[in-house]
């Protein structure tokens, strides 16, 4: 039978956590899934782990790698998985995260109840206790005041990075494959340190054009660890370099697709102002 959900896990040197992520898919109470493991040029033992699961679960789990075993980045790897996906829905599970058993059955039920919705996003549990059982885990809901359907572009005006509300984590998302294809999949040029915002580029393309369901439920564990990309970029002092890259991309995307929402334009220009020349900021404030 054709799987209803294609789960995509892209990984790069994640031998420490990959098996745990895969096991959390195998533990799902929802049976109609396939798991696509995309190797982004790993040099550790994680490809062997992925191949072993693909061998043990043929037809359910498959292993992919880029040509010549290249490292192309998270977005390109997710895109490779999407092009192979057979499901009507696509879910993403980061290789160092894990799901709770009812994640897929709950989310597919909501999507079937709201056929007009392009994507579902849920809260995430910031998982601190994985290494230290005494550490406190914290559930972070998406930064909106209600659960339900949000029409475009409302979520952009409420959520990070143009507003203050907490944004969804990729491991908490379920999206229709047809919607991914309609908007050109992930932006593959968000590589290296710019991968910090690759999910935001994908999310904003959906927020701008499609209704999205926000759930306050939580079925994903977002592992907190020192080696994460978020902490690395901030430690290197590159956070604002990466943020500016995303903001300039969003500005170009709006112009190229002739999308105009006054409130979005206002928030975007305000965010870009801090990166412009000091005299320009002074002139803008004087004539505002």
Q: What single-letter DSSP state applies at residue 201?
A: H
pLDDT of residue 287: 40
Q: Which residues pair with 134 in a beta bridge?
A: none
- Kindly state the tokens that stand for 29: 């109470």
pLDDT of residue 286: 45
pLDDT of residue 237: 85
pLDDT tens track for 165-174: 999 999 999 9
- How much of the chain, in percent, has pLDDT values that exceed 90? 87
Find the range with the poorest average confidence among 142-151, 208-217, 223-232, 264-273: 223-232
pLDDT tens track for 186-211: 999 999 999 999 999 999 999 999 99
Task: Look up tokens 């549990």; give the residue.
Answer: 125
- Kindly state the tokens that stand for 162: 């143009």
pLDDT of residue 284: 44
Query: Residue 230: pLDDT band by 50, 70, 90 thresholds?
Result: confident
Query: For residues 23 and 21, what is the distance between their CA atoms, to the nearest angstrom?
Result: 5
Rg (CA), the chain: 19
pLDDT of residue 282: 46
Mean pLDDT for the stretch of residues 256-280: 87
Query: Residue 280: pLDDT band by 50, 70, 90 thresholds?
Result: very low
pLDDT tens track for 38-90: 999 999 999 999 999 999 999 999 999 999 899 999 999 999 999 999 999 99
pLDDT of residue 112: 97
Size of the chain in residues: 288
CATH fold for domain 5-286: Spore Coat Polysaccharide Biosynthesis Protein SpsA; Chain A (3.90.550)
Mean pLDDT for the stretch of residues 97-119: 98
Cβ atoms of 141 and 128 within 8 Å: the answer is no
Query: For residues 221 and 100, what is the distance between their CA atoms, to the nearest angstrom?
Result: 8
Please check the confidence at residue 138 and state whether its pLDDT lies above 60: yes
258: left (phi over 0), alpha (psi -120 to 50) or beta: left
Mean pLDDT for the stretch of residues 137-143: 97
Share of the chain residues as helix, strand and coil, in percent rounded to the nearest 5: 45, 20, 35
Query: For residues 32 and 35, what is the distance between their CA atoms, to the nearest angstrom?
Result: 10
Please check the confidence at residue 1 and state whether its pLDDT lies above 80: no
Q: Are strands 33-39 and 98-99 parallel, antiparallel or unpaired?
A: unpaired
Cβ atoms of 270 and 161 within 8 Å: the answer is no
pLDDT tens track for 13-34: 999 999 999 999 999 999 999 9
Query: For residues 146 and 154, what is the distance between their CA atoms, to the nearest angstrom?
Result: 13
Q: In what helix (H) or strand (E) does residue 75 lie, and over which residues does it extend? A: helix 74-84
Q: Which residues pair with 39 in a beta bridge?
A: 11, 65
Query: For residues 169 and 15, what is the distance between their CA atoms, to the nearest angstrom?
Result: 21
């Amino acid at each position: 039978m054709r799987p209803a959900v294609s789960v995509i896990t892209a990984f790069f040197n994640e031998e420490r956590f990959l098996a745990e992520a895969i096991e959390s898919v195998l533990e799902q109470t929802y049976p109609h899934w396939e798991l696509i493991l995309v190797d982004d040029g790993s040099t550790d033992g994680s490809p062997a782990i992925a191949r072993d699961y693909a061998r043990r679960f043929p037809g359910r789990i498959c292993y992919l790698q880029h040509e010549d075993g290249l490292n192309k980045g998270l977005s390109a790897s997710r895109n490779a998985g999407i092009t192979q996906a057979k499901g009507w829905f696509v879910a993403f599970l980061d290789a160092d995260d894990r799901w709770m058993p009812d994640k897929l059955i709950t989310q597919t039920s909501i999507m079937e109840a709201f056929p007009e919705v392009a994507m579902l996003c849920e809260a995430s549990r910031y998982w601190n206790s994985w290494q230290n059982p005494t550490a406190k885990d914290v559930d972070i809901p998406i930064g909106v005041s209600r659960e339900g359907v949000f029409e475009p572009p409302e979520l952009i005006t409420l959520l990070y990075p143009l507003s203050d509300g907490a944004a969804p984590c990729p491991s908490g998302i379920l999206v229709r494959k047809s919607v991914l294809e309609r908007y050109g999949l992930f932006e593959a040029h968000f590589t290296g340190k710019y991968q910090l915002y690759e999910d935001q580029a994908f999310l904003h393309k959906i927020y701008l054009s499609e209704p999205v369901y926000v759930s306050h439920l939580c079925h994903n564990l977002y592992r907190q660890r020192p080696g994460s990309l978020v902490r690395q970029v901030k430690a290197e002092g590159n956070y604002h370099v990466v943020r500016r890259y995303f903001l300039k991309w969003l500005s170009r995307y709006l112009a190229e697709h002739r999308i105009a929402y006054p409130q979005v334009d206002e928030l975007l220009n305000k965010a870009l102002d801090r990166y412009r020349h000091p005299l320009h900021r002074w002139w803008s404030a004087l004539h505002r």
